[in-house]
Structure 1
Amino acid sequence: MGGELELQHKSGSNYTLLLNLYFDVVNGNPDAEDPSLLAGIFDKASNGRIGNYVTLQRVSRTPVQYTNPACTVASLVTRKIVYSADIVLPAAMFSSTIGYYVAVERCCRNNIIGNIVNPAGAGQTFYLEFPPVVRNGRPFVDSTPRIFPPLGDYACRGELFYYDFGGQDADGDSLVYDMVTPLNGHSTSANPGPQPLAATYSTITWTPGLSARNQIPGNPTLGIDARTGRLTVRPSQLGLFVFGVRCSEYRNGTKIGETRRDFQLYVLNCPQNTTPGLQLFTAASPRAYNPGRDTLKIKPGTNHCVRLRYTDLDPNSRLTVSAVPVNFTGSAAAGPSFTTATSGTVRAPGAPDTLTAMLCFPECFDTKKKVYLLDLVVADNGCSLPRRDTVRLAFMAEPLPNEPAILTTSFPAVSSTNGAPAPIRVPLGSTYTGTLTGTDADRNALVLSAQGQGFDLGAMGMTFTARNGNARADGLFQWQATCDAMQESKMLTVVFQLQETTTCEKLPYSRTVQFEVVPVTDSLSFLPPNVITPNGDGLNDVFTLPDLPADFCDVRYAGIRIFSRWGNEVYHSPERTFRWSGSGTSGVYYYLITYTDGRKYKGTLTVLP
């Protein structure tokens, strides 16, 4: 029935090559299920084959489900067969800038296909292009997109058939879809499974009046949306029809690969199915919403819900409604959602003729003064695919207004020079206390919190307690400065945060404060004497420094050295209690006081007679 190739990157130069083959269980010959198939890899520039043929082993056989299992017919049963092989694409062999292609050839097609010439003698070529694995000297990793989901449905003559072939690309590449004529290739009924040959590949021959743009007769004829991959056709003839779809992959505007799906669609006569109907009602008007003319405006304090009424003329029709965002993204948590049942049966014994559902918008939904579009869709359970009716709702929504919360603290003001937080210097062993107050004019619930940047508050001797509530929250911060904090970091940064929890725009308001441990004695107030008079009168007889800056945790006094004006050391002492009465010679001397952290104090001392 057709299929497609995939190339999936695993790691480094390792890839997995897959062939998804779809088999007609009803009309196909069981002997045509190959245990393995051969794939050839070719250089697009020269059409030369790269390396040996790759043997794809059959790894799975699974049934393909109908979109609606209740629509199953005995004449169409599809099986998906996957063939796989792990391959290596080394950079030395696969660096051609033009890229490469993979081909698998197999004959033959179902002999009852009605839109091509000689279907029983027509072959299939499964074709995949992929880029070089090195580009500009660097690895260029790519996997073919996961596209073309299994198709197990049939189409009904005169009914719109639709199917989403759109896929996802793991690498974030852009995908473009178009219709193409399926490839025939070199296989024949006499040689159904040849070793794949290089391009070019012949194509199947359409019956008169058909082409790549008109593969299945209909109104509209078979087509695919270039952007979404949605396949549509309203077939006008019964029968089995082959078709081809191509997905081209682009990265940064450059085509890097393509994948083709070769497939077939069965068109049957189906029981008549009436399209269901959907009406939408808002609280603003008793009449039904008029798409294209009305715009629903959702404002604070107004009704945020709309009512849906849906029905179907067919008896025992099971209907389901859904909401599909068109030009915005939404989720069950943040977007509009149904508050009642969204499915039910109409015109069955004991069942109503009309069902209703309620769709409500969150109070915090904000369209930011733009018109958002939401498709409300009702679908039945008709065969082969549901019939649908869609009402496109245009709406604008405003969230509840919110005045910003205010955070005030007893911490010093932020520096006016560079905007940085003013550090709070706390003497060793003392306790610092700070208060915080959050207020909110809208009386929203407020929560105060504090968090150390890179440290735990409790481990540093810090505590924070908060009394949270509506409209107001109070916090108390306390810190006993210890040497443990000094060892952790010279500067400790704490972020205090005020959070509104019951408003739409839950923006936090924060204040960052830095704390620093300092010695009990401030070294800035240390002023040594600069004159001594060692004359024995008991006044300034010796040079001593009782007000030396105190030892601070691991920072300790290292000693003093005194020098003559010629640079000769005349005195030194490691003791804080040193006493120097001069060297017996009047004049000017120089002293140097050092601490273990490298801190130094130096100055001059004059010895008078």
Structure 2
Amino acid sequence: MKTIFTRLITIFCFARGGPMALVLAGLLGLAGPARATHIVGGELELEHVSGATYILRMNLYFDAVNGQPGALDNELTASIFDRTTNARKLDVVLPLTTSSYVNYTNPACTVPVLSTRKLVYAQTIQLPAGTYGSPGGYYAAVERCCRNNTISNIELPFAAAQTFYLEFPGVVRGGQPFVDSTPRIFPPLADYACRNELFYYDFGGTDADGDSLAYDLVTPLNGHSNTVVPKPAQAAPAPYAPIDWKPGRSAQDQIPGTPTLQIDGRTGRLTVRPSTLGLFVFGVRCAEYRRGEKIGECRRDFQLMVLNCPANNPPSVLVLPQAAGHPAPYRPGRDTLRLRPGGDHCYQLRFTDPDPGSTLTLSLHPVNFAGNLPTFAATAPTTGRVHAAGAPDTLTATLCFPDCLNSRGKVFLLDVIVADDGCSLPRRDTVRVAFIATPPPNGPPVISSTAGPALPLHARVGDVVSFDLVASDPDNDALTLAMTGGDFAPAAVGAALAQGGAGGRVQGRFTWRVPCAAVRAAPYVFTFTAAAAPCGEPQAAALAVPVVVDYANAAPVLAATLPPPPPADGPPPVVRLALGGTYAATLSGTDADRDGLTMTATGRGFDLAAAGMYFAAQNGTGQASGTFRWEASCAAVGLPQPLIVDFGLVDATCRPLPQTRAVRFEVAKPDSAAVTLYNVITPNGDAQNETFRLPGLPPNFCNAEFASLKIFSRWGQQVYETADRDFRWGGQGSAGLYYYVVAYTDGRRYKGWLEVLR
């Protein structure tokens, strides 16, 4: 491992692997006392939460070595503007939420002059559709001064400010919601670059909406803040003035070097081979596109420090065949490995580094394929030291390609990379291996059953359908059995598949007790699949077994001594008895299918026993009988009328065909239409027609009994009253016309007149 020894004196000196011979005054600047040295860079982000709710976030990178503690803000103010009109839409205070340090790629390369803190300021905001629907979109800005005064590539860095800038689309397009979270870009940079050595860093971002991202280098923005007003209460609207480059520098040549600073427009990877010591500011823009249209952008300002580093020679790696007699190493760009079934799939890797004490690490990177990757054999480590006490000069490892790897005739490319532990970033050597891989031949699985050749199978309700399945694979690939239904779920109808075995042979047992719910005309087609996945390539064999559920049912026959049934939709027949009368009937049922029979008698809205009715049934398989008896009483008269009894016979089968008979029962009441009322008496002592009586009144009947008789004079004066239905009134008083009222307990009234003649 390349260690760093540091000693802070007038000149920094470092052991191999760190900066050396770097003048302290050159790092801190020679232009006089430090002024406002704190801001390293930053960027804005907008994250959609739900509905109209978003989080506006400002990531600020702070110089933890030279930054003035008083410049550490507890909040920043962001302003949002309409891009078309520059109209101010919102000023929002972003409180400080988190503070953390940015890590080095290799912590062993840490230097005391470079430490960066990440400060996150965030606030939840609302972007309602009625306010933020402009087709031209919006932009957000935060203005803050000042930059580090030691920056080497811009004019007057101690007075240069920063404007952090973000563009985002309206939340409505074409009358529909348009949701967008801006890219979350660039893992922040903590590393330094070494003069005259290639520096690389991945600034590639991610987008929650899956939008396409494109990167380019831009001139950082200065804006309107300054040393007098370093922290404006709000950002001013665009345009924002750019920083002033020093002579020879520009957006396309921000850091002197060969090559100068560049960024991959597709991946966001930064590269530069700096030629000058110093601290350099640079700007990166990430634009997001949806369906080919640019919808927004975000920018990051950042800094890169270039130091003198000890010489670091790159490591090297060779790829050698394992087979004896083939000692020549693989030649990148000229050789193509051909991985065939039964052939050698393993290769030896030899890697070393000319520098003493280097720690080397092997890694693999697939260039144009995915899926199964080669692996390193566990017998040899992929990491180790060379040219150190007790360590070898050269390390070896074994790289093995999977037998199943299949390039389908194409040339796959694999980068075999060895990296050292040099500073500021590891030096690497890459061997790009081209290969064509052919997997071993593989036969498909087979499946059979004992269901027999005579298909479909036939079963009745209650039967158990059972048969065995056997699946095998000629290459002994691991198999699994599965069962599906054509237009049904097997488990929903009670079918089950149990399986056992392992490897390339599996047995299964299908069982199905056919339930009533399975009765239907269409057959049940059960499909059984034996599946394997040799080398990740699915293979399957299927077997279909149809099962027909046979079902037929004849209606049971109900016979009874009940009154004959009425014509269709006619009222039920009537059984009428006088009080105290008795009625009896017998019923019998038969079923040609020998299904279980159940006979019932049920009162419509009343209990049979409460009406003096009794029913007993003898149920059985294919036969049933019942007896019914009714004793007419006042209890039946007192129930809600009419009294209708439903007699039923039902067969115990999947689709019953019940037989029913309905009979109405009534208790005969006295005929009140034949009531005789008398209206003349002659109480003259001749023993003829001497008294008034009413022997022809209706007799008492259950709850309808004689209650009273009242006689009134022609002037309405009551002259007589009795509760005796056998009364005799002798006409006491003067001759003339009288009126009477007879009352019964069921509310009936009989009225008449009576003339008394003397």
TM-score range, shorter chain: 0.7 to 0.9
In the alignment, which residue of structure 1 is the partner of 2:462?
A: 429
Pick closer, same or farther for the CA change 1:206–1:221 going to 2, 3 Å.
Answer: same
C-alpha separation between the residues in 2 aligned to 1:278 and 1:226?
A: 30
TM-score by length of 2: 0.65
Deviations 1:93-141 (A, max 9, x none): 1111111000001111111111111111111000000011111111111
Change (3 A) 1:139 1:598: farther
Contact kept? 1:482, 1:517, Cα under 8 Å: no
1:273 and 2:275 matched: no
* Equivalent residue, structure 1, for 2:52: 13
Q: Does 1:227 align with 2:266?
A: yes
Matched with 1:302 is 343
C-alpha separation in 1, matches of 2:336 and 2:402: 18
For 1:168, give the aligned amino acid: T
Partner of 1:211 in structure 2? 250
Identity of aligned residues (%): 53
Contact 2:461-2:516 within 8 A present in 1 as well: yes
1:448–1:468 contact (8 Å) kept in structure 2: no
Q: 1:323 aligns with which of 346, 359, 364?
A: 364
Offset at 1:292?
0.5
1:477 pairs with 2:517: no
Is structure 2 residue 131 aligned with structure 1 residue 93? Answer: yes
Q: Paired residues, what number?
A: 530
CA distance in 2, matches of 1:469, 1:59: 56
Alpha-carbon distance in structure 2 between the residues aligned to 1:314 and 1:145: 41
Q: What is the CA deviation profile of residues 165-223 of structure 1, one whole-angstrom value per residue up to 9, with x for unaligned ones?
A: 00211111100000000001111111111120111111011111111000000000001
Would the aligned equivalents of 2:415 and 2:430 in 1 still touch at CA under 8 Å?
yes
Question: Which of 530, 538, 551 in structure 2 is aligned with 1:519?
Answer: 551
Shift of 1:339: 2.1
Equivalence map 1:113-192=2 (5 Å): 113-192=151-230
Is the contact between residue 519 and residue 551 of structure 2 (CA under 8 Å) also seen in structure 1? no
Distance (Å, rounded) in 1 between the aligned partners of 2:41 and 2:478: 61
Question: SS in structure 1 opposite 2:108?
Answer: helix
Match of 1:499 among 531, 545, 551: 531
Q: Which amino acid aligns with 2:459?
A: V
1:22 corresponds, among 46, 55, 61, to 61
Q: CA deviation at 1:512?
A: 4.2
Distance 1:451 1:185, change over 3 A: same
Q: AA paired with 2:384?
A: G
Partners of 1:446 and 1:468 within 8 A in 2? no
Distance 2:594 2:550 in 1: 11
SS in 1 for 2:255: coil
Match of 2:744 in 1: none
Which moved further from structure 2: 424-433 or 3-12? 424-433
- Whether contact under 8 Å (2:405, 2:535) holds in the other structure is no
The 5 A counterparts of 1:326-341 are 326-330=367-371, 334-340=372-378, 341=381
Secondary structure of residue in 2 paired with 1:97: coil
CA distance in 2, matches of 1:509, 1:352: 55
What is the aligned-residue RMSD (CA, Å)?
Answer: 3.1
Once the two structures are superposed, the pairs formed by residues 441-480 of structure 1 within 5 Å of their partners are 441-450=474-483, 457=491, 462-466=495-499, 468=501, 472-480=505-513
Residues 224 and 516 (structure 1), Cα distance of their counterparts in 2 relative to 1, 3 Å cut: same
Q: Does 1:264 align with 2:333?
A: no
Higher Cα radius of gyration: 2
2-side partners of 1:462 and 1:303: how far apart?
A: 49
Matches of 1:210 and 1:46, distance apart in 2: 33
The residue that corresponds to 1:103 in the other structure is 141
Shift of 1:290: 0.4
Q: Give, in angstroms, the shift of residue 406 of structure 1.
A: 2.0
CA deviations 1:563-607 (Å, max 9, x no partner) are xxxxxxxxxxxxx99xxxxxxxxxxxxxxxxx99699xxxxxxxx
- Residue identity matched to 1:393: V
Gaps of 5+ in 2: 1-39, 556-589, 599-621, 624-652, 658-758
Q: Distance in 2 between matches of 1:210 and 1:290?
A: 41
Structure 2 counterpart SS, 1:120: helix
Alpha-carbon shift at residue 429 of structure 1 (Å): 2.9
Residues 429 and 552 of structure 1: is their aligned pair in 2 closer, same or farther, counting only changes over 3 Å?
farther
**Equivalent position of 1:367 in the other structure:** 407
For the pair 1:74 / 2:107, whether they are aligned, the reply is no
Letter in 1 for 2:98: S
Moved more, 168-177 or 429-438: 429-438
* Distance in structure 1 (CA, Å) of the matches to 2:463 and 2:102: 76
After superposition, where does 1:236-275 map in structure 2 within 5 Å?
236-275=275-314
| 2:409 aligned with 1:376 | no
Distance 1:149 1:401, change over 3 A: same
Q: 1:129 to 1:423 in 2, by over 3 A?
A: farther
> In the TM superposition, what whole-angstrom CA distance separates every residue of 1:383-432 from its partner, at most 9, and x where no partner exists?
10111110101111111211112223355889xxxxxxx86441223333
Q: Secondary structure at the match of 1:468?
A: strand
Cα 1:207–1:294 change in 2 (3 A) is same
1:280 and 1:552 mapped to 2: Cα distance?
83
Contact 2:516 2:654 in 1 (8 A): no
Q: Deviations over 1:320-375 (max 9, x none)?
A: 11001111124xxx321222321111111000111112221222111111111111
Distance 1:118 1:552, change over 3 A: farther
- Alignment of structure 1 residues 571-590 onto 2, 5 Å: none
Relative distance call for 1:259 and 1:480 in structure 2 (3 A) is same
- Greater relative contact order (CA < 8 Å, ≥ 6 in sequence): 1
